[in-house]
A and B are shown apart, each in its own frame.
Chain A
Amino acid sequence: MAALTPISRTKPVFYLSVVAAFGALAGLFVGTAQGSGPLGIVIGAIAMAAVAFVLTTVISNERVGRLGLMLLMAIAGWMFGGIPGIVVGLAFGWFFAWLSYWLYEGRYRAKVPPYLTGGQVLWHYTFRVICGAIFIFLITPILVVMPLSFNAENFFTFTPEMLRFDPAGYSLKHYRDFFSNQDWQNAVRNSIRIAPAATLLSVGFGTLAAIGLSQPHMPFRRVIMAILISPMIVPLIISAAGMYFFYSRIGLQGTYLGVVLAHAALGIPFVIITVTATLVGFDNSLTRAAANMGASPVRTFFKVQMPLILPGVISGGLFAFITSFDEVVVVLFVGSAGQKTLPWQMFTGLREQISPTILAVATLLVGISICLLTTLEFLRRRSERLRGMSPS
C-alpha cells in the first residue's frame, strides 16, 4: 500500500520514551533470567533510550546504525549466554534499530489514514500485535514439533545442546526409528491401503449424488442433504460406537472392508459440499449445447461437465483422503490390530509409551499437509478461472 500520510520526524521525547519502554520490557525478561528483574528494567530502559539517541543523532547513516547495533547486541548476548545469546542479541539489535528509526522518522504514520488521532494509531498497532500473538498461538505447536523431531535425546524439550546449535544435539535417529520400526511401517502400509480405497468410494458415489442434488428439480433435497451431511455432524465417538455395534452384527467389524466403508461414509459430506459448490456456477446450457451437437449424455458428462467440475471433485477427494488418513476414533472401534493405521499408532504412542518417534511422524505429516494445502489452493484458483470468476 502506498503511503497515505506524509511523514515527518518526531520529537526526541516521544521516540526516546517509547524505545525506553520497550527496552524496559526486554530488560525485565533478560533481568529475571539473569537474576534481578527491577535492575533489568532500569538498565534496559536507560540502555535502549541511549541507543536510540545515539542512532538518531550521532550516526547519520541508517544502514550503518542498524548493522552496528545488531553487532553490538550480538556480542553482548554472547558474553551473557553463549551461542543462544548471540541469536537473542541479533534479534534484539534488529528490533531496536528498526523501532528507533521507525519512530524517529515517523514511518508508523505512513500507512494509516491521516485523520487518525494518536490514540487511534496506538490502537491500530496494538491490535496488530494482538493478532500477531494469536497467529503465533496458531502456528507455534507446528513449528515447535519440527525442530524437536531432530532431537538427539529422547526428550520432549529443547536440550542445551540444541539451543547452542551444537550439531551433536541434533540427529535423525527418530526418523531412522520410524523407517526401521515394523509397527510404524505396518501402520503406514495400512493407512495407504485404507485411505485411497475409502476416497475412491466416497468420490465415486459423492460426485454422482452431487450432480443429482444440483439438478433444478430434485425432490426432498433438504432431507437428503441432511442425511448425506450427517456423518460430518454426528460426533465421531457416536459414529464409532454405532458402527462398532452394527458392523459386529454383520461381521464387518475388524475387517479391511469394514474400515474402508466406515471411512468412505465419513468422507462423503466433504465430497458433496465441495462438488455442489463447484456445480453452483455450472452453466447448464453447455450440456444442452453438447447434446445439440450430437453428444450422448455419457460423452457429454466426460467431455464437458467433468473437466469443469474436476477441481471440485479433486479437492473433495483430498478432503475425503485426509479424513480417512487422519481418522482415529472410528478405526479404533471398527478396526482390529490388522488394520492399525498411522493415527492409531500415534494415538497408542501418545497414550502409552510416548516416544519422540511420534514427533518425527508428526513432522512428516505436516509436510504432507503443506503439499495438500498447496494443491487445494492451486485447484481452487483453477476452478474459479475455469468458471470465469476472478481469482481472489
Chain B
Amino acid sequence: MSDVNDATTAKTAPTPDDGLKIADGPVLAADGTPLKKSLSRALRVQKLRALALVAPLLIFVLVTFIAPIADMLFRSVENEIVSETLPRTTDLLADWDAESGTPPGAPVFKALFKDIFEAQEAKLHTRLGSRLNYELTGVSSLFRKSGRKVEDMAEVYQDQFEKLDRFWKKGENWNTLMGSDAWNADMAGWDPKSDDKQPKFELRDGIDVFLPATSESFANYAKFTQVEDEDNLAKKDPWALVYSSLYDDLQRAEPVTFAGLKVAGAAELSEAASAVADFETVNFAEAFTKIDKDWQDVEVWRTIQAYSPRYTNGYFLNAIDMQKGADGPEMRPENQQIYLTLFWRTMVMSIVITVSCILLGYPVAWLLANLPARTANLLMILVLLPFWTSLLVRTSAWKVMLQHQGVVNETLVWLGIVATDDRLALINNQTGTIIAMTHILLPFMILPLYSVMATVPQTYLRAAKSLGATNWTAFWRVYFPQSVPGIGAGSILVFILSIGYYITPEIVGGTSGTFISNRIAYHISSSLNWGLGAALGAILLAAVLLLYYAYDKIVGIDNVKLGG
C-alpha cells in the first residue's frame, strides 16, 4: 500500500530536474551528446589509460617470465627427438604389433639402417640413445654401438660399385649426375676462398623418377655437408648410404630406362644396373642382430614405438615413478622408485619447517604485538635483520655453525653435553636442512603473524579474564581464533617458499636432506634429462599454484606485506 502511495506522491510532487525532463528528454552533456554516452566514453578512456600504463610491464613479464614457464611446460611433453631422428623407422613401426612377441620385419630394419646412418653422420644417434635410455636402460649403448657399425653395412655396396667402375669413386661424378646443370655451373664459378655462400644444391630435374631412393639420400647428404658441416660439396665423396640406395634403385629399375637420361654417367648407370643382380647383399636384420642381439628384443622395439609420437606423457609418468608398460602405464620396479619418495620427503619436510616456524614465530609475534611500540620496534630489528641478510650469508653461517667441528658442536662439547667423539651430525642430513630453513623462513612467518596480531585489541584478553576465564581459556578461546588468519597467511607463505627451495638444501642437505628442486636442477644441469626435469618442475609448479590460489583466497595478493 505504502509503495503505491509513495509512487503517486513522487509523480505529483515537483522535483528539481522536472524542468529538464520536460524540456528535452535525455540529459545532455555540455557538448550536446547524451550524458550517459559521454560518461561511458570517459570511463572507456580511463580504462584504456590504465591499461596503457600497465601494458609495457605486462608485455615485459609475459616475455621474460611467462613465456619461459610455458616453454618449460611444453618441454615436459615434447618428444620430437625420436620421430625426428628415426623418421622412417617410426613410420613403419606404427603398423607393428608389439603384442605379437616377434621383432619387426626386414623393412623396419632397413629403415632403421637408413635412419641411424643419417643420425650418426649428424652425431644425433647418441642423443637419441640417451633419450631412450631414460625409458629402457641399455638402449644408449645399443645405439652407440650400432652407430659405429652402420658404416660397414653400407660399405659393402660402396666397395662393389667402386670395383665395378672407377666412375663411382669420385664425388665430382656424383655431383654431375645428381645435381642440376645450373647448380653444377654455379659450383664451377664459386670460389671457396671468397666470402660468397656456397651455391645451394639442387637435384637434377627428373632424376628422382629414375633413382628415387638415391635422390633422397644424396639430397640429404648434400644438405648436411653444405649446411651442417659447411664443407665444400665439390671436394667430398658421398656417404656410403648413397651407394646402398643406388643399389636399391637399380635393382628395381629396368636397365633400358636409363637411355632417356641425357647426362654424363648414364652409361655407367646402365652398366651398374645390369651388374647389380650379382651383387653381394646385406641382410639388415641379421647385421643389426650381429651388432647387438638386443635388436631382437621386443622390449627395445616396443620402447621405440611407444615414444614415436611427437608428444608424450612419458616424462610425467617417469616423474611419478611410472613407466609405459605393455598394457598402459604401470609402476616402476620398487628399486627404481625415487621421485614419489622425494616428493613425499619434500612435502613432509616442508610441513615440519612450517610447523616449527609457527611454534617459534607465534610467541615472538605475540610479544612484538603486545610490547610498547618503542621496544617492539627495537626487537623488530632482530627479525628484520636476518630477513634482509643475504640468503647465502645465512646459509654459510649455518654451514659453519653446524659442521662437525663447528660452533654448535664445539660449544656442546665445551659444556660437556656431548662427548668429543660422538658429536652430533647436524649437517648434510635432514636436521641440517630443517634447522637452516626454519631460521631462513622464520621472518616470513613472524611478519604476517605480527601484522594480524597488532590488530587484535589487548583488552579482549583482559575482558575474558575479568569474566572468569583462566589464562589458557582466554588465550585459546578469545585470542587464538583471532590470530588464525595470521597463522594461515604465514603458513602458506612459508610452505610455498620451502617446497621450492633449492640453495639451502643443496648446501646443508647432503643426500638425505635434499628437495625435489635439487633433483630438477640435477636433471637440467647434470643428467641433461630436460624433459624429466621439466615434468618434475610442472608438478611442483602445479602444487605451488594451488597453494597460491588458496593464499589469494585467504589473504589476497594485494595484502602481501614486506618488511613490516
Contacts and interface: CB of A to CB of B under 8 A. Distances in A.
Interface of A: 1, 29, 32-33, 37, 120, 123, 127-128, 130-131, 134-135, 137-142, 144-145, 148, 155-158, 201, 205-206, 208-209, 211-213, 215-219, 224-231, 233-247, 249, 261-262, 264-265, 268, 270, 273-274, 276-277, 319, 322, 325-326, 328-329, 333, 343, 346-347, 350-351, 354, 358-359, 361-362, 365-366, 369-370, 372-373, 376, 380, 392
A241 B61 CA distance: 16
Contacts of A243: 64-65, 68
A233 B363 contact: no
A131 B388 CA distance: 21
A345 B545 CA distance: 31
A190 to B, nearest CB: 15
B384 A347 contact: no
A236 B47 contact: no
Given A127-B363, A268-B61, A274 B382 contact: no
Contacts of A373: 381, 384-385, 388
A265 B544 contact: no
Nearest to A249: B71
A139 B71 contact: no
A270 B562 contact: yes
8 contacts: A158-B410, A227-B61, A230-B65, A230-B66, A231-B65, A235-B500, A239-B68, A265-B60
Contacts of A380: 564
Q: Which among A140, A235, A343, A361 has the greatest number of chain B C-beta atoms within 10 A?
A: A235
Nearest to B564: A380
A219 B50 contact: yes
A347 B537 contact: no
Interface stretch (B205-213, B241-249, B413-421): B413-421
Contacts of A326: 390-392
Contacts of B544: 233-235, 238
Contacts of B517: 235, 237
A70 to B, nearest CB: 22
A130 B364 CA distance: 9
Given A235-B500, A350-B507, A225 B557 contact: yes
A215 to B, nearest CB: 4
A93 to B, nearest CB: 19
Given A29-B415, A359-B400, A215 B46 contact: yes
Contacts of A219: 47, 50-51
A227 B58 contact: yes
Interface stretch (B119-127, B269-277, B520-528): B520-528
A346 B506 contact: no
Contact of B557 (A229, A365, A376): A229
Interface string B390-417: 1111111111110101110010001111
B552 interface: yes
Contacts of A230: 61, 65-66, 548
A380 to B, nearest CB: 8
Given A219-B51, A227-B61, A234 B69 contact: yes
B53 interface: yes
B69 A205 contact: no
B563 interface: yes
Contact of A156 (B403, B442, B471): B403
Given A241-B521, A350-B399, 5 more contacts: A131-B367, A145-B400, A226-B552, A239-B65, A326-B391
Contacts of B396: 145, 346, 350, 358-359, 362
B360 interface: yes
Contacts of B50: 212-213, 215, 217-219
B530 interface: yes
The A interface is mostly helix, strand or loop, or mixed, namely helix
Interface in B90-111: none
A366 B397 CA distance: 11
Contacts of A225: 557-558
B500 A238 contact: yes
Given A215-B46, A218-B47, A141 B398 contact: yes
Contacts of B417: 32
6 nearest interchain CB pairs?
Answer: A235-B500, A212-B53, A32-B416, A242-B68, A141-B397, A246-B68
B154 to A, nearest CB: 35
Contacts of A244: 68, 524
Contacts of A261: 64
Contact of B496 (A215, A217, A233): A233
B537 A238 contact: yes
A273 B560 contact: yes
Contact of A206 (B47, B57, B414): B57
A347 B392 contact: yes
Given A145-B400, A157-B405, A227-B66, A33 B389 contact: no
B332 to A, nearest CB: 23
Q: Which among B393, B537, B541, B562 has the greatest number of chain A C-beta atoms within 10 A?
A: B393
Contacts of A123: 471
Contacts of B260: none
Interface string B484-526: 0000000000001001111100110000000001001100110
A33 B57 contact: no
A148 B400 contact: yes
Contacts of A322: 388
B400 A247 contact: no
B389 A237 contact: no
A351 B399 CA distance: 10
B261 interface: no
Contact of B562 (A140, A201, A273): A273
B338 interface: no
B60 A205 contact: yes
Contacts of A130: 363
Nearest to B388: A369
A244 B533 CA distance: 12
Interface in B34-55: 43, 46-47, 49-54
A45 to B, nearest CB: 18
B379 interface: yes
A145 B390 CA distance: 13
Nearest to A135: B382
B32 interface: no
Given A218-B47, A270-B562, A328-B503, A224 B388 contact: no
Contacts of B62: 227
Contacts of A347: 392, 503, 507
B68 A131 contact: no
B562 A319 contact: yes
